[in-house]
């Protein structure tokens, strides 16, 4: 599948934003995050909004984007839109509560915002997991992957902000735990998609299997088309292997180590280590999100390539 830049940016930025909102909504009312928390909330909403706006760039008719919230009864994309918009309400209420220092409202709005963040990321994951023709997406580990990556990137960002605000070991500890969990999940996912059998074959796609092994002879068109551009994107196996290593190292392993280091150091060095960790994590996740598309294969290519 063609890794559209706007979608890769959307899932990375909004994923991190919702992760940050989730942890802030849970931890700030409990007093586990130092400082007022407004900077973290602003960063979360900024990332979410940049991601959502970026995703509309992918549309053929961005001015009609508002129509996308109407079919929530059948469409995960529509549900994602609804959840994303609804989540703004408790998120802004949380901001108000933190601003005027209203602990009860902060607790209620924080919990609702955290729930909204989970729901939105769950819907994002389901958009991909519900697509049967793409076996790398139609997989039980795809939704947990989206949730874990979001929780991890959000925890790293919150840990960085908490360190600048002077402490807060809980977010850094969460970054370590979610990072290690996300890495294990991602490795299990890669292992699973590498060994899974194809969904269909050229024989079942053409009904010609009863004659014998089938192969494409003459293509229906000699030039490109939308299907080949969108669904025919291929990545060389050796590049995929290298990019997976880079994503694992930069996206997960190094940020987790830096978060551990920050737990030991404290103070400004911790803040700097976590800043580097956040940059590495988001960069690594961009690569991982890109791979998520580049490694996915669509059944329509059976007709073109066998």
Closest CA to 112 of 16, 24, 209: 24
Q: Could you tell me the CA-to-CA distances from 288 to 48, 75, 85, 291 in Å, in that order?
A: 19, 25, 26, 5
Query: Quick check: 3 binds another protein (CB under 8 A)?
Result: no
Buried b / exposed e across 52-74, counting CB within 10 Å, b at 16+? bbbbbeeeeeeeeeeebbeebee
- The correct pick among 230, 234, 267, 268 for binding another protein (CB under 8 A) is 230
Query: Quick check: 242 binds another protein (CB under 8 A)?
Result: no
Candidates 84-92, 107-115, 226-234, 283-291; binding stretch for another protein (CB under 8 A): 226-234
Decide whether 199 or 253 has the Cβ nearer to another protein. 199
Residue in the block written with tokens 């196996």: 237
- Closest approach of Cβ 79 to another protein, in Å? 9
Helix axes 254-265, 267-294, angle to 10 degrees: 170
Q: Give the integer Cα–Cα distance in Å for 183 and 28.
A: 26
Binding mask of the shown chain, residues 163 to 192, with x at each position contacting another protein by CB under 8 A = ------------------------------
- The correct pick among 39, 89, 184, 225 for binding another protein (CB under 8 A) is 225
Candidates 35-43, 55-63, 163-171, 265-273; binding stretch for another protein (CB under 8 A): 55-63
In DSSP terms, which residues pair with 134 in a beta bridge? 298
- Closest approach of Cβ 31 to another protein, in Å? 40
Query: Quick check: 101 binds another protein (CB under 8 A)?
Result: no
| Structure tokens belonging to residue 305 | 């390539």
Three-class DSSP category at 134: strand
The size of the interface with another protein (CB under 8 A), counted in residues, is 60
- Closest approach of Cβ 19 to another protein, in Å? 24
Q: Which contacts qualify for 208-215: CB closer than 8 Å, 24 or more apart?
A: 214/306, 215/306
Query: Quick check: 104 binds another protein (CB under 8 A)?
Result: no
- Closest approach of Cβ 40 to another protein, in Å? 30
- The correct pick among 140, 219, 267, 269 for binding another protein (CB under 8 A) is 219
Residues in the chain: 306
- The correct pick among 18, 23, 76, 252 for binding another protein (CB under 8 A) is 76
- Other CB atoms within 10 A of residue 80 CB: 25
Binding site for another protein (CB under 8 A): 1, 58-62, 64-65, 67-71, 73-78, 81, 127, 130-134, 199-200, 202-221, 223-227, 230-231, 298-300, 303-304
């Amino acid at each position: 599948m063609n890794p559209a830049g706007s979608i890769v940016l959307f899932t990375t930025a909004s994923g991190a934003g919702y992760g940050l909102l989730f942890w802030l909504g849970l931890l700030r009312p409990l007093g586990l995050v130092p400082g007022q928390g407004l900077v973290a909330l602003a960063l979360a909403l900024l990332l979410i909004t940049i991601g959502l706006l970026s995703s509309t760039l992918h549309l053929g008719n961005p001015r009609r984007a508002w129509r996308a919230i109407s079919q929530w009864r059948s469409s995960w994309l529509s549900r994602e839109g609804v959840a994303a918009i609804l989540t703004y309400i408790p998120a802004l209420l949380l901001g108000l509560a933190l601003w005027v220092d209203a602990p009860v409202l902060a607790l209620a709005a924080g919990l609702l915002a955290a729930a909204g963040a989970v729901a939105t990321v769950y819907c994002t994951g389901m958009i991909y997991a519900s697509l049967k023709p793409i076996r790398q997406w139609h997989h039980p580990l795809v939704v947990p992957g989206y949730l874990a990556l979001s929780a991890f990137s959000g925890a790293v960002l919150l840990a960085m902000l908490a360190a600048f605000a002077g402490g807060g070991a809980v977010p850094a500890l969460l970054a370590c735990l979610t990072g290690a969990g996300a890495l294990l999940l991602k490795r299990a996912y890669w292992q699973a998609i590498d060994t899974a059998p194809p969904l269909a074959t050229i024989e079942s796609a053409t009904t010609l299997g009863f004659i014998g092994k089938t192969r494409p002879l003459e293509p229906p068109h000699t030039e490109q088309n939308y299907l080949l551009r969108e669904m025919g994107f291929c990545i060389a196996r050796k590049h995929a292997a290298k990019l997976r290593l880079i994503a694992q190292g930069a996206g997960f392993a190094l940020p987790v180590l830096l978060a551990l280091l920050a737990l030991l150091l404290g103070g400004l060095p911790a803040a700097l280590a976590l800043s580097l960790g956040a940059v590495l994590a988001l960069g690594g996740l961009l690569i991982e999100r890109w791979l998520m598309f580049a490694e996915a294969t669509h059944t329509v290519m059976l007709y073109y390539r066998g």
